[in-house]
Amino acid sequence: MTLRNTIEVVTRLAEKRVITNYAIAGAVAALNYIEPMLTDDLDILISLEGFEKHASGLLLLGPIEKALAQMGYTERTDVGYRIEGWPVQFLPVASPLDEEGLLEAVEVNVAEPGHPPLQARVLRAEHIVATALNVGRPKDIVRIQAFLEQNAVDLRQLKTVLDRHNLGEAWHALCLKTGVINPFEKS
């Protein structure tokens, strides 16, 4: 039971078209760019196509649940489904930023050395940072700082994303709050 196996199950859901478009998000996506940090679960950003919307606006993830049950994964956790030992949370796109992140996600090989390649979609660094800024919990701020310290995000592309999604002010406020020198204001 490994995280790689969990991701493989997600790729199978995509192959079966149970999820139309997906990208690994959150802490596991950040792994692709920065040093590993402990996380409790795997976040998967998914497109809305193929899911029924309840009158309340809630999206019903029945097709995922059904497909997972057919594959033998029936256990639920407090955050979602347990797949290969890892809690997995499927997060439908909830903003234009999510939508853009999903469209521009990159394919990354998650196979261990010596194994056949296994491509999975992962959010780009600038979308991970912009989303972390938008969410703004302490752990998101730590994540942003790690991206900056480890030069793991293209600042020009990040600025474009922040501007496009009106996150410039939030970015400025974050820099003031954390004492980080705003890289966009460096001379």
Spatial contact of 107 and 121, defined as CB atoms under 8 Å apart? yes
Residue 145 as a binder of other proteins (CB under 8 A): the answer is no
Burial of 26 (0-12, 13-18, 19+ CB in 10 A): buried
Helix (H, G, I), strand (E, B) or coil at 90: strand
Among 124-132, 137-145, 147-155, 163-171, the segment contacting other proteins (CB under 8 A): 147-155
Candidate residues 15, 55, 57, 112; the one interacting with other proteins per rule CB under 8 A: 112
Among 95-103, 123-131, 145-153, 162-170, the segment contacting other proteins (CB under 8 A): 145-153
Candidate residues 31, 71, 141, 175; the one interacting with other proteins per rule CB under 8 A: 31
Give the shortest CB-180-to-other proteins separation in angstroms: 15
Residue 141 as a binder of other proteins (CB under 8 A): the answer is no
Spatial contact of 47 and 93, defined as CB atoms under 8 Å apart? yes
Token duo for residue 157 = 């592309």
**CA separation for the pair 25, 88 (Å, rounded):** 11
Q: How many CA atoms lie within 13 A of 88 on its CB side?
A: 31
**CA separation for the pair 43, 120 (Å, rounded):** 13
Candidate residues 9, 19, 46, 110; the one interacting with other proteins per rule CB under 8 A: 110
Residue 109 as a binder of other proteins (CB under 8 A): the answer is yes
Give the shortest CB-7-to-other proteins separation in angstroms: 7
Binders in 46-105 for other proteins, by CB under 8 A: none
* Neighbour count for residue 129 (Cβ, 10 Å): 28
Token duo for residue 159 = 């600025």
Give the shortest CB-55-to-other proteins separation in angstroms: 34
Q: Which residues bind other proteins (CB under 8 A)?
A: 2-4, 7, 28, 31-36, 38-39, 108-113, 122, 146, 149-150, 152
